[in-house]
Amino acid sequence: MGATAVVASAPAAGAATAANCPTGWGSQAKTLATSTVDSVTNVRTGRQDCYDRMVVDVPGAGRGELGYSVQYVDRIHQDGSGTPVTVGGGAVIEVRVTAPAYDPETGKPTYPARAGKPLPGVNLTGYRTFRDARFVGSFEGETQLGLGVRARLPFRVQVLTDRVVVDVAHTWTGVR
């Protein structure tokens, strides 16, 4: 009888987990005003059950030192030049991290990206939400990225030690 109870409860727990994706993130702009002297060295992405994730790595930056501005935009313009950067997808998120993609002392790039081009090493094949990821530029201590997504969906931003994390949900309803 004990085994039957365990077998009977397992599907119910699995069903609850399948529909238990976060939904309260919203799609309004999210910002944290702070900055670091440390530089962006990598941008990577990953797929999760409920969302797609972008991580901007800034080694050396402590948890409270990384600032950001993340918001949906109609179009992204490169800081400094004003040059528009085309980002594919049904909606576009501008990701700004208050860390340069270059060494402030030498001007030498710390992240090997080119303005307007796809992010190096990022392959979005098979992602449910992400469609395009572009390097927009790095100007006056801020790095600007464009993230093309399937549609305007809820997102959250987290600052962890040495990185800014942007998660964009697969749906508004929390159902996978």
Residue 10: pLDDT above 60?
no
Residue 4: pLDDT above 60?
no
| 174 exposure class (CB count in 10 Å sphere: 0-12, 13-18, 19+) | middle
Confidence of residue 8 (pLDDT cuts 50, 70, 90): very low
Residue range 121-150: average pLDDT?
96
Q: What pLDDT shows up at residue 171?
A: 93
In DSSP notation, 61-88 reads --TTT--EEEEEES-EE-TTT--EE---
Domains and CATH numbers, the chain: 29-169 (2.60.40.3500)
Question: In this structure, are residues 73 and 92 in contact, taking their beta carbons and an 8 Å threshold?
Answer: yes
Residue 84: pLDDT above 70?
yes
Residue 143: pLDDT above 90?
yes
Q: What pLDDT shows up at residue 25?
A: 94
